[in-house]
A and B are shown apart, each in its own frame.
Chain A
Amino acid sequence: MTPFAGWQMPLRYRSETAEHQAVRHAAGLFDLSHMGEILVNGPGAGAALDYALTGYLSAMPPGRARYTMICAADGGVLDDLVVYRQGEQEFLVIANAANTAVVFGELLSRASGFDAVVTDATDEYALIAIQGPAAAGILGPLVSMDLGAMKYYAGAFGDVAGVPAWVARTGYTGEDGFELFCRPADAVGVWEALASAGASAGLVPAGLAARDTLRLEAGMPLYGNELGPDMTPYEAGMGRVVKFDKPGDFVGRAALLARSLAGPRRELVGLTLQSRRVARHGYPVFADGIQVGTVTSGAPSPTLGQPIAMAYLGADLDARAAVLTVGIRGEAVPAQLTDLPFYSRSR
């Protein structure tokens, strides 16, 4: 167990590499109850979120989900979010645990001019994720809805193992999978029902360590590593989450528009290393011996069998022409520029 944003979280249950491989080839079960759940409800909820976030949430139909961001007025990223539209006037916003208080405070103040009620409901939800190619087959018989009809980035209310839940086809692993939001009192029962139903299909509990290597292989940014208040979505290669074509103003619009026209100051890239040593968060990246960037996340990739990393490089650098190395505790280790993501599931 490890302390994480005020929660005690399992870093691993047994071997994080085995947990990682289970998610890629069978399924893994994650306890993500630390994530923040914020409800934005009311006739003006969609318009309030259009103003508060970078996305065009009022245009999203009920039963769907979007990946989006909340930015400061200067365009800096305060958090990356998944927003579910649970009904015509009901939205569920999922924030990173460490940012929940900030996101809740910002949504509260940004929604003040709208006919919408913002509630921090983190304590009312447990979140259990089941991720991997076997997830749908394991979960299907335990839920009241037809999972085959549920698209990726969609969700619906229903029963899971006999208790009410919001069931969504979302995740942070690069695999097909589901996230189940239920009452905390029901969480142990849901966990045990899933663990028992999935054991024969290879389902194993998976911890934070596997979650991190899974999202890194899938090229997904992690707040605090690839995202933060000192960068805009454009630096992270996530400019697509900024919707200038939605009606009305939104927080950060002017700064983000300027940034989108000027181009990013830094570029997020993927690196692979022909080495046993691992490039880790904070290590310098050199081009022809001069530091041109910094590693944001790095790990040995169980899928590729070699170390992988994401790094920010100066946008003026012609990275494709440069000979890149990562400084690993004093040694310059050659690194190859690689397109993100490192891994995509076959669909």
Chain B
Amino acid sequence: MSIPADLHYTPEHEWVSVEGSVATVGITDYAAQQLGDVVYVSLPSVGAAVTGGEPCGEVESVKSVSDLYSPVDGEVTEVNTELDDDPSLVNAEPYTAGWMFRVQLAQDGNGDTALPPDLLSAAEYEELTKSAG
């Protein structure tokens, strides 16, 4: 199971990477393995406002359906339409071709864009998956 060191994580098993003020979001390798073969990903629309910790889509696998949570506040600028044709990318390449959506991060009171402070580091996320068994 892979947990890249340079990404941020949530307890709901999303990962976040940031370039400038844009965050890219997907689900972790651990989550994809737990779900099994992903058959459908319902993503937020481009332009939609998302809120950290709130559901913004669904990941449907052979055995179950799970909410997809946004780890960040902001506006969706892009979604991975490749997943429509090939949702198995989420299982095969969860951190690269299986990415799900991009968010223009909301500005805080100082006009800065920052990630929420409660995101987990790779080491913290690894601990969480270990304690989950």
Contact = CB atoms under 8 A, between A and B. Distances in A.
Interface of A: 11-12, 15-17, 209, 212-213, 276-278, 280, 299-300, 329
Contact of B36 (A11, A276, A280): A11
A332 B42 CA distance: 16
B82 to A, nearest CB: 15
A276 B40 contact: yes
Size bin of chain B's contact surface: 10 to 19
Nearest to B40: A276
A300 B62 CA distance: 6
B62 A17 contact: yes
Interface string B55-89: 00010101111000000000000000000000010
B91 interface: yes
A57 to B, nearest CB: 35
B60 A15 contact: no
Interface in B18-69: 36-37, 39-40, 42, 58, 60, 62-65
Given A278-B65, A280-B65, A12 B60 contact: no
17 contacts: A12-B36, A15-B36, A15-B37, A16-B36, A17-B37, A17-B88, A209-B36, A209-B62, A276-B39, A276-B40, A277-B40, A277-B42, A277-B58, A277-B65, A278-B39, A278-B65, A299-B63
Nearest to A302: B62
A209 B38 CA distance: 13
Nearest to B92: A15
Given A16-B37, A276-B40, 13 more contacts: A11-B63, A12-B36, A15-B88, A15-B91, A16-B36, A16-B62, A209-B62, A277-B58, A277-B60, A278-B39, A299-B62, A300-B60, A300-B62
A300 B37 CA distance: 10
Contacts of A276: 39-40, 42, 60
A16 B37 CA distance: 7
Interface centre among B36, B42, B64 (most CB of A within 10 A): B36
Contacts of B62: 16-17, 209, 213, 299-300
A12 B42 CA distance: 24
Contact of A16 (B42, B58, B60, B63): B63
Contacts of B88: 15, 17
Contacts of B37: 15-17
A284 B41 CA distance: 22
Contacts of B64: 280
Given A17-B62, A209-B63, A280-B65, A300 B39 contact: yes
A35 to B, nearest CB: 21
Contacts of B91: 15
CB-CB nearest 5 A-B residue pairs: A276-B40, A300-B39, A17-B37, A16-B62, A15-B37
A209 B62 CA distance: 8
A329 B65 CA distance: 10
A213 B37 CA distance: 12
B70 to A, nearest CB: 18
A276 B86 CA distance: 12
Contacts of A209: 36, 62-63
A212 B58 CA distance: 22
Contacts of A300: 39-40, 60, 62
A209 B37 CA distance: 10
Most buried by A among B58, B60, B62: B62
A209 B63 CA distance: 7
Nearest to A276: B40
Nearest to B64: A280
Nearest to A17: B37
Nearest to A278: B60
A61 to B, nearest CB: 40
Name, among A15, A213, A329, the residue most crowded by chain B CB atoms within 10 Å (CB to CB): A15
Contacts of A278: 39-40, 60, 65
B58 to A, nearest CB: 8
Contacts of A16: 36-37, 62-63
Nearest to B60: A278
Nearest to B91: A15
A297 to B, nearest CB: 12
